[in-house]
Structure 1
Amino acid sequence: MKLQVLILFLVLGTVILIPAMAQQKDIKLPPEATEFYEPKVKVVTPGKENNLPPADAIVLFDGSNLNAWVSDRDESAAPWKVENGIFTVVPKTGGIKTKESFGDVQVHVEWRAPSEVKGKGQGRGNSGFFFMGKYELQILDSYENETYSNGQAASIYKQHPPLANAMRPPGEWNTYDAIFTAPRFNKDGMLISPARITVLHNGVLVQNNVELRGPTEYIGIPHYVAHPEALPIHLQDHGDLVSFRNIWVRKLD
């Protein structure tokens, strides 16, 4: 018994001593041992004012035209109205999509619900920002407007309600800043990692790196089906006069 106790004591002492020695060794390392210079961090000149695009951004709308967009029905010229530096949904013309395709992105978009309040719930200031044409960040006038939680403004539609309702009153501009990570599939079409998104609504964190369960579904349970690594961004025509301005993206992949 005494021999067994002695062996146990020696083993425990060794287990405790080795990490302590390693820690002591680390302390003796020079500071340069934990510094690295490669890869170099690229220089990106930020926008001169808040919300203006940084130097490496792709500007999707600068107030002048919709040349970066096409109709999502037939890829003809985007049919929505541009006036006074903003563009507005033309109901019943269909949604629009970007000519360029995107995967992982940082997005900035400013939008405004009509100042004249019409309808309620989902019938009030409704549109949608679709990453890859599949994953919807809801646009809705949720100012003192009751609807289902996972369908209000800044929700990942029918999946994740926002952490807060940060809406401004009808007629005032709202801002979304989002980081979207596209899903990954292997060569056989199996999902490797799901899409994820972080969203700030008017500077308030409303989606904190949430995992998407699949593309947006109005009816039924979302599920993944393999798709290309990059696809166009879509804006939805839901029949309401929602306006947009100052839209830019940064590719993160």
Structure 2
Amino acid sequence: MRKPVFVMLTLVSISAFAQPEMPKMVPEMTEIWDPEVTVVTPGESPMDAPSDAIVLIGEGKELGYEWTNASGEKPGWDFENGVATVKRGAGIIQTKRQFKDFQLHVEWRTPAEVVGESQGRGNSGVFLQGIYEVQVLDNYNNRTYRNGQAGSIYKQHAPLVNACKAPGVWQTYDIIYTAPRFNNDGTYFTPPRVTVIHNGVLVQNNMVVRGPTEYIGIPEYSVKPHGDGPIILQDHGNPVSFRNIWIREL
């Protein structure tokens, strides 16, 4: 018995549009070889600058080589043996270079002699792109508002924990920063993001920054589009010291 014509046509049609059999997967199909990953030589310890880092404060490097005051002139802080110390009334210091996305290592020390309390004790700050502050403060047995203590994104995000060491002891911040991108209307397309590791302890986990740091007011109200910016170290009137600051542009 002959098959109906429409059956034959259907079989031909299915055969014509059948997908070719996929090749059997092998490991090499998902291996990417090029371009080769860039080699960076790590420091001897996590605190030492890797080979692609820019050393901003270090031994054998004058402070004025990488830093200025707010007016673009020679910084007025005390500087000896690779340690920069806030000199009351000298104002902030800021990097000559401008940065976008980066990994930043900062070592800081509050005075061994305890003077003051709350925000008046060992107060300084690290400003990312000159706008967004990671608070520096002596919070060792020193209570203050939680979103203003050491390791906070000042007045925005409290640290996950208080990882402060005692006054007079060197401490570390390792900061990963992703700069904002902006819409045509000046609002954030993607806001800034900050991760902070304080003395080896995670205290800010890829946190979204709401806007520029404000002492009074709401951060969102101050958002303005901006490009690359400096690292700023704050003069808050306390003789806080900094050393071994290096940065890797990402």
Q: Distance in 2 between matches of 1:98 and 1:165?
A: 28
* Cα offset, 1:38, TM superposition: 2.6
Deviating above 3 A after TM superposition, structure 1's stretches of 4 or more consecutive aligned residues are none
Question: 1:58-97, aligned counterparts within 5 Å?
Answer: 58-64=54-60, 65-66=62-63, 67-72=65-70, 74-97=71-94
Structure 1 unaligned regions, length at least 5 = 1-24
TM-score norm. by structure 2 comes to 0.87
Name the SS of the counterpart of 1:170 in structure 2. coil
Measured in 2, the distance between the counterparts of 1:229 and 1:29 equals 46
> Structure 2: which 5+ runs fail to align?
1-21
Give, as a single letter, the amino acid of the residue that structure 2 aligns with 1:42. T
RMSD: 1.4
1:1-253 aligned within 5 A: 28-64=24-60, 65-66=62-63, 67-72=65-70, 74-223=71-220, 225-252=223-250
Between the aligned partners of 1:42 and 1:145, the Cα distance in structure 2 is 44
Q: Per-residue displacement from partner, 1:7-60 (whole Å, max 9, x unpaired)?
A: xxxxxxxxxxxxxxxxxx79x410111111133210001112331100000110
1:135-174 per-position Cα deviation (integer Å, ceiling 9, x unaligned): 0000000000000000000000000000111100000000
The number of residue pairs the alignment matches comes to: 226
Q: Percent identity?
A: 57
Question: What is the one-letter code of the residue matched to 1:45?
Answer: T
Q: Equivalents in 1 of 2:69, 2:82: separation in Å? A: 20
User: How far apart are 1:188 and its partner, in Å?
Assistant: 4.1
Cα deviation per residue 1:82-136 (whole Å; 9 max; x = unaligned)?
Answer: 1133110001111010000001010000000000000000000000000011000
Q: How far apart, in 2, do the equivalents of 1:242 and 1:186 lie?
A: 38
Q: Distance in 1 between matches of 2:76 and 2:123?
A: 18
User: Which entry has the higher C-alpha Rg, 1 or 2?
Assistant: 2
